[in-house]
């Protein structure tokens, strides 16, 4: 597998041994940005995001934190589609299930300890749902294309189901599922027990999400650049060949799919805590397609692309508002999947690298054909 | 006895709905290997065109329906040239940039889903912006069948007969016309068809136009019975989609069998537990069918037949 | 009638044909011989247009067809018979033959009578699904299909592959007859010694994507000389 020589030239040899060793865990051919310049830029970006609330005030920061929450959902699809080759229209299923689970548990146990538990149960619920659905499909030998279809249909099943939970009989403990009206009064996120606890709202919530996002991003970077990450990519590129080398392809796909479910679940729990509200709208096709749009535009095979496109597009959508926003998003999607199916971030990266090394860089061949069954 | 009659009507209604929703999509999927997630919006175009022709332009309903079909077929032609095959953008880019920029979407199932999804967003919002959140309603013709306390719309039951007619017409076109033979040859072996002089590009264009026209027909037929809102396509899309996948590669037989199976399940469960659960039952059945018969019903039958031939 | 000049063709980035020059005059039967893997099928696909050459030119009937798509070349008069026959399995025998009508679009003439003369078994099984025919029958069908519009040039890709020897003989003789009766030019690729000697007026030898030799009728009569090019 070719290694990108992406501007990591002699200038970087100046890094001390420990730093370089640490960096090497997060760098590799499977992510964009493998130079000192990149990490400096990354640090700047994180600091800028940290300073953001002080610039725009807590209300705007709170609105922005929603986009950061969505970034986890984008990452979940990037991991599953971009790195393991499985296009899932159903990440919102795990998002929604986790959100509702968090809602039900936290409404019933509204203490900090209870809410902490709700958080864990919610994320676990998302992962479990992904495991079950994934097992059903992957170990049933369903080809990737039909996995896509099944995930799409699952989203609709959940939408239809949750939509008819309006009646009083659909109450778990204190929490009414509420049908189309949704489940209100979900408490804010809190960690800890009794007195030794923090409740997150507005600013503190913003920093929590930002911190979690950075940690998750770095964690995923380390994962996809590790040996396991290379197996994931091998599965994406050619399942049969990978199987012939002795790898348990089904196990890899299921593990990745479950991880995707956990990430989507994390996003869902944070979403429920952010808005203090869950509704069946999260299972609608329009929302289910958003992760696909974010990741297609940003570049599904890069984590950075997933995060930046999610935040960028959602910010755009929010600023434009209304129907025009969806038209523009639709146009974006169309233009990108037809003209630049790899997404923005890889393209920017390629152009940047070409400019820096005067076009002499050998590029790893882009797998131009879609992953077919 | 009365409930049985009601169940029968629900079945016919459901069968017609599924078959008419799926027909255009099945043809495009079967011949071009493209999944058109904007299919629901094509139906919407047909419905809107019919309504506008009938209410604003005063055409009688059958003529208005014809307008709906033609408008949608024409629109489908444009979509095929610009989005699906990319011919128009490529021709432009060839002139100005010296190279092609777009790969056709044929046989690219996941990419075609994503691209047509983008198209569907544009269409729904575009219509909402230009024509508002709802449109005037054509009244449902033919009244109701009434029997001891129950009643059912005659029109919707009659659509079952129309659905069968559409299936028969599709069968005829694909087995008895030159176009149909060329299209089937192209599905079976595109390279060889091309090497024998078949203009496969034109075949795809025609096929997409026919599939779009059928979607337009569905929209036209259902325009008098459904609420005219920009998002009306979504209630057709899912049923169409799962019917195509469950039906399998044989366009006519697959759609018929899928319509029968899913329609029966939908009708039965709806009768007992209400329409929400009827829909859920339909969707869950689809999931189970896809999992166990990933090539659809007709694909499974094909495999059985091939295996029996080999064993013989 | 057909002229290839410096044609190079590749799959993805692996070159298969390297700088191929060959020509076929009207009325000839020309062969291209070579072992497995030298690029014979690639050559045929490039001539009919299923594969685009990365460099070089192809001229047919006086016109440059290098950029023309396959269906255009077929309509201009090239009849293509793929390796493995590639009949349309779910169409009937009769429908398969009818599919050949788009070949040689300028000519209104169809040769149904002659075809069923050459291959009476096709008339017998007209309504049978093509996928159920035997290998030899499928080969006859593929030939009939390419021939029905009286093309000027027939392109045959390994006509003997996968077919029992007695039928192979018959097919060789039929091709000769077609060339005699209809004046159809024939270009074929083969690795079967007998077929080459039986059918070809002259023959090119191919090795690793290049034309390495051209062999005339006298040398063709010498078994040992040809066997060299076909040795495994």
Find the closest chain B residue to A88 by CA distance.
Answer: B110
Residues 6+ apart with CB under 8 A from C183: C26, C27
Residue C5 CB burial class (10 angstroms; 0-12, 13-18, ≥19): middle
The CA distance from B239 to the nearest CA of chain A, in Å, is: 10
3-state per-residue secondary structure call for A272-309: HHHHCCECHHHHCHHHHHHHHHHHHHHCCCCHHHHHHH
Is pLDDT at A294 greater than 50 in this prediction? Answer: yes
Whether A132 contacts chain B with CB within 8 A = no
What average pLDDT does this structure show over A219-242?
A: 87
- Tokens, residue A4: 């990108």
What average pLDDT does this structure show over A225-248?
A: 87
Element (H, E) at C120: helix C120-124
Interchain proximity B114–A333, CB inside 8 Å: yes
Q: Which residues of B touch A326 (CB under 8 A)?
A: 121, 124-125
Interchain proximity A140–B292, CB inside 8 Å: yes
Give me the residues of B, 214-233, that contact C with CB < 8 A.
Answer: none
Find tokens 């296009």 and name the residue: A87
Interchain proximity B111–A372, CB inside 8 Å: no
The CA distance from A100 to A121, in Å, is 11
Enumerate neighbours of C (3 or more CB pairs within 8 A).
Answer: B
Beta strands, E only, B143-195: 144-147, 150-153
pLDDT of B47: 93
Domain count, chain A: 1
Q: Which residues of C touch B198 (CB under 8 A)?
A: 71, 99, 102
Whether B287 contacts chain A with CB within 8 A = yes
Give per-residue pLDDT as tens, B85-134: 888 888 888 788 777 778 888 877 777 888 888 898 889 888 888 888 88
Q: Which residues of C touch B191 (CB under 8 A)?
A: 50, 70, 82, 86
Whether B13 and B259 have beta carbons less than 8 Å apart is answered as no
Whether C131 contacts chain B with CB within 8 A = no
- Tokens, residue A363: 């590029």
DSSP code for B178 = H
The CA distance from C166 to C144, in Å, is 19
Interchain proximity A296–B234, CB inside 8 Å: no
Whether B132 contacts chain A with CB within 8 A = no
DSSP code for B268 = H
Query: What count of other Cβ atoms lies within 10 Å of the Cβ of residue C56?
Result: 18
Give per-residue pLDDT as tens, B239-258: 898 898 899 888 888 999 99
The CA distance from A237 to the nearest CA of chain B, in Å, is: 15
Q: Which residues of B touch A150 (CB under 8 A)?
A: 287, 290-291
The CA distance from A331 to the nearest CA of chain B, in Å, is: 6
ipTM exceeds 0.90, yes or no: no
pLDDT of A17: 65
Q: Which residues of B touch A169 (CB under 8 A)?
A: none
Highest mean pLDDT, choosing among A230-244, B139-153, B205-219: B205-219
Query: Hey, where are the domains in chain C?
Result: 2-85+153-230
Is pLDDT at C202 greater than 80 in this prediction? Answer: yes
Find the closest chain A residue to B107 by CA distance.
Answer: A372
Which of A137, A323, A330 shows the shortest C-beta gap to B118?
A330
The CA distance from B185 to A123, in Å, is 51
Q: Phi/psi of residue C163, each to 5°?
A: -125, 145
pLDDT of A16: 60
Is pLDDT at B190 greater than 80 in this prediction? Answer: yes
Is pLDDT at A15 greater than 60 in this prediction? Answer: no
pLDDT of C199: 84
Element (H, E) at A262: helix A249-275
Residues 6+ apart with CB under 8 A from A335: none
Which of C48, C50, C90 shows the shortest C-beta gap to B184?
C90
Q: How confident is the model at residue C129 (pLDDT cuts 50, 70, 90)?
A: confident
Domain C2-85+153-230 has CATH 3.40.50.300: yes
Q: Which residues of B touch C99 (CB under 8 A)?
A: 181-182, 185, 193, 196, 198
Is pLDDT at A372 greater than 70 in this prediction? Answer: no
Give me the residues of A, 300-339, that contact B with CB < 8 A.
Answer: 323-324, 326-327, 329-334, 337-339
pLDDT of B60: 85
The CA distance from C110 to the nearest CA of chain B, in Å, is: 15
Chain B to chain C Cβ contacts (< 8 Å) = 63
Terminal CA-CA length for chain B:
48
Interchain proximity A338–B102, CB inside 8 Å: yes
Give per-residue pLDDT as tens, C169-179: 888 888 888 88
Give per-residue pLDDT as tens, A37-76: 788 888 888 888 888 888 888 888 888 999 999 999 999 9
Give which of C137, C133, C124 is closest to C174, Cα–Cα.
C137
Give which of A118, A267, A108 is closest to A199, Cα–Cα.
A118
Is pLDDT at A366 greater than 50 in this prediction? Answer: no
Whether A59 and A201 have beta carbons less than 8 Å apart is answered as no
Query: Hey, where are the domains in chain B?
Result: 2-138+151-311
Is pLDDT at A230 greater than 90 in this prediction? Answer: no
Whether B92 contacts chain C with CB within 8 A = no
Find tokens 């393991």 and name the residue: A84
Give per-residue pLDDT as tens, A152-187: 889 989 988 888 877 777 777 777 788 888 888 888
Q: What is the CATH number of the domain that holds A307?
A: 1.10.3470
Which of A153, A324, A371 shows the shortest C-beta gap to B242?
A153
Is residue A266 assigned to a domain?
yes
The CA distance from B183 to the nearest CA of chain C, in Å, is: 11
What is the CA angle C66-C68-C73, rounded to 5?
A: 105
Which of A156, A330, A333 shows the shortest C-beta gap to B238?
A156
Is pLDDT at A220 greater than 50 in this prediction? Answer: yes
Is residue A286 assigned to a domain?
yes
- Rounded to two decimals, the pTM is 0.81
pLDDT of A367: 46
- Tokens, residue A173: 């403990």
Interchain proximity B115–A338, CB inside 8 Å: yes
Whether B245 contacts chain A with CB within 8 A = yes
Is pLDDT at C182 greater than 90 in this prediction? Answer: no
Whether A8 and A352 have beta carbons less than 8 Å apart is answered as no
DSSP B25-52: HHHHHHHH----TTHHHHHHHHHHHHHI
Interchain proximity A154–B114, CB inside 8 Å: no
Is pLDDT at A289 greater than 90 in this prediction? Answer: no
Give per-residue pLDDT as tens, C63-103: 888 888 888 888 888 889 988 888 888 888 888 988 888 88
Is pLDDT at C116 greater than 50 in this prediction? Answer: yes
Is residue A5 assigned to a domain?
no
SS3 B145: strand
Interchain proximity B188–C103, CB inside 8 Å: no
CATH for the stretch B2-138+151-311:
1.10.3470
Element (H, E) at A352: helix A344-356
Is residue A285 assigned to a domain?
yes
Q: Phi/psi of residue A193, each to 5°?
A: -125, 130
Whether B120 contacts chain A with CB within 8 A = yes
pLDDT of A243: 87
Query: What count of other Cβ atoms lies within 10 Å of the Cβ of residue B118?
Result: 26
The CA distance from B254 to B244, in Å, is 7
Interchain proximity B196–C80, CB inside 8 Å: yes
How do beta strands B150-153 and B144-147 pair?
A: antiparallel
């Amino acid at each position: 597998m070719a290694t990108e020589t992406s501007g990591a030239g002699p200038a970087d040899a100046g890094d001390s041994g420990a730093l370089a060793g640490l960096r090497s865990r997060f760098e590799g051919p499977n992510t964009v940005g493998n130079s000192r310049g990149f990490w400096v830029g990354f640090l700047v970006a994180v600091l800028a995001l940290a300073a953001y609330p002080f610039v725009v005030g807590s209300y705007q920061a709170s609105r922005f934190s929603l986009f950061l929450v969505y970034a986890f959902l984008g990452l979940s699809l990037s991991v599953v589609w971009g790195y393991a080759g499985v296009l899932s229209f159903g990440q919102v299923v795990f998002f929604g299930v986790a959100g509702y689970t968090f809602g039900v548990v936290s409404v019933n146990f509204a203490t900090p300890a209870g809410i902490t538990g709700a958080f864990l149960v919610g994320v676990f619920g998302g992962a479990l749902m992904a495991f079950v659905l994934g097992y059903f499909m992957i170990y049933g030998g369903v080809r990737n294309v039909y996995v896509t279809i099944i995930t799409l249909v699952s989203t609709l099943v959940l939408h239809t189901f949750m939509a008819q939970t309006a009646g009083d009989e659909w109450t778990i403990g204190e929490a009414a599922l509420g049908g189309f009206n949704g489940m209100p009064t979900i408490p804010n996120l809190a960690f800890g027990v009794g007195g030794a606890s923090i409740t997150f709202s507005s600013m503190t919530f913003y920093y929590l999400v930002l911190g979690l996002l950075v940690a998750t991003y770095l964690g995923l970077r380390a994962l996809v650049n590790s040996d396991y990450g290379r197996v994931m990519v091998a599965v994406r590129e050619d399942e049969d060949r990978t199987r012939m080398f002795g790898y348990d392809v089904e196990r890899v796909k299921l593990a990745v799919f479950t991880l995707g479910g956990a990430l989507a679940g994390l996003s869902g729990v944070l979403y429920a805590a952010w808005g203090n509200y869950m509704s069946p709208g999260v299972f609608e096709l329009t929302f289910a397609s958003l992760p696909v749009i974010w990741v297609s535009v940003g570049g599904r095979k890069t984590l950075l692309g997933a995060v930046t496109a999610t935040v960028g597009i959602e910010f755009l959508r929010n600023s434009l508002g209304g129907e025009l926003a969806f038209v523009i998003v639709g146009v974006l999607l169309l233009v990108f999947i037809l003209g630049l199916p790899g997404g923005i971030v890889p393209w920017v990266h390629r152009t940047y690298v070409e400019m820096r090394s005067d076009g002499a860089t050998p590029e790893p061949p882009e797998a131009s054909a879609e992953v077919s069954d | 006895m009365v409930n049985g009659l009601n169940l029968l009507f629900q079945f016919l209604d459901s069968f017609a709905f599924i078959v008419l929703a799926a027909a255009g999509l099945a043809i495009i999927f079967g011949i071009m290997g493209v999944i058109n997630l904007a299919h629901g919006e094509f139906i919407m175009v047909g419905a809107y065109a019919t309504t506008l022709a009938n209410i604003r332009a005063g055409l009688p309903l059958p003529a208005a329906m014809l307008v709906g079909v033609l408008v949608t077929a024409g629109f489908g032609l444009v979509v095929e040239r610009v989005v699906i095959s990319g011919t128009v953008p490529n021709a432009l880019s060839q002139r100005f940039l010296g190279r092609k920029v777009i790969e056709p979407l044929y046989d690219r199932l996941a990419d075609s889903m994503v691209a047509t999804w983008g198209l569907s967003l544009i269409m729904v919002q575009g219509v909402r912006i230009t024509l508002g959140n709802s449109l005037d309603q054509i009244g449902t013709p033919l009244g109701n069948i009434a029997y001891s306390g129950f009643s059912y719309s005659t029109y919707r039951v009659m659509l079952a007969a129309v659905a069968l007619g559409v299936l028969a017409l599709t069968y005829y076109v694909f087995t008895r016309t030159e176009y149909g033979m060329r299209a089937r040859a192209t599905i079976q072996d595109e390279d060889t068809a091309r090497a024998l002089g078949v203009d496969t590009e034109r075949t795809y264009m025609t096929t997409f136009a026919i599939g779009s026209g059928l979607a337009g027909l569905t929209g036209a037929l259902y325009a008098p019975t459904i609420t005219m809102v920009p998002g009306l396509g979504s209630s057709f899309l899912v049923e169409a989609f799962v019917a195509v996948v469950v039906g399998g590669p044989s366009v006519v037989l697959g759609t018929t069998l899928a319509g029968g199976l899913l329609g029966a399940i939908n009708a039965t469960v709806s009768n007992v537990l209400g329409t929400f659960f009827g829909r859920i039952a339909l969707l869950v059945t689809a999931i189970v069918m896809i999992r166990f018969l990933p090539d659809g019903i007709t694909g499974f039958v094909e495999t059985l037949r091939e295996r029996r031939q080999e064993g013989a | 009638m057909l002229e290839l000049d410096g044609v190079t063709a590749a799959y993805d980035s692996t070159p298969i044909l390297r700088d191929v020059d060959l020509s076929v005059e009207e009325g000839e039967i020309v062969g291209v011989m070579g072992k497995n893997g030298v690029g014979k099928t690639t050559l045929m696909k490039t001539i009919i247009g299923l594969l685009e050459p990365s460099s070089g030119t192809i001229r047919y009937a006086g016109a440059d067809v290098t950029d023309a798509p396959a269906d255009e070349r077929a309509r201009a008069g090239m009849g293509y018979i793929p390796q493995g026959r590639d009949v349309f399995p779910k169409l009937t025998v009769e429908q398969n033959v009818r599919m050949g009508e788009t070949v040689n679009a300028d000519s209104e003439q169809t040769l149904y009578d002659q075809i069923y003369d050459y291959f009476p078994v096709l008339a017998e099984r007209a309504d049978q699904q093509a996928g159920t025919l035997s290998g030899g029958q499928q080969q006859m069908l593929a030939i009939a299909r390419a021939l029905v519009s009286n093309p000027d040039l027939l392109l045959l890709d390994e006509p003997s592959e996968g077919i029992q020897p007695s039928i192979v003989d018959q097919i060789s003789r039929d091709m000769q007859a077609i060339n005699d009766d209809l004046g159809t030019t024939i270009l074929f690729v083969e690795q079967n010694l007998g077929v080459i000697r039986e059918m070809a007026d002259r023959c090119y030898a191919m090795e690793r994507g290049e034309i390495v030799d051209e062999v005339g009728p006298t040398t063709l009569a010498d078994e040992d000389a040809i066997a060299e090019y076909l040795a495994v």
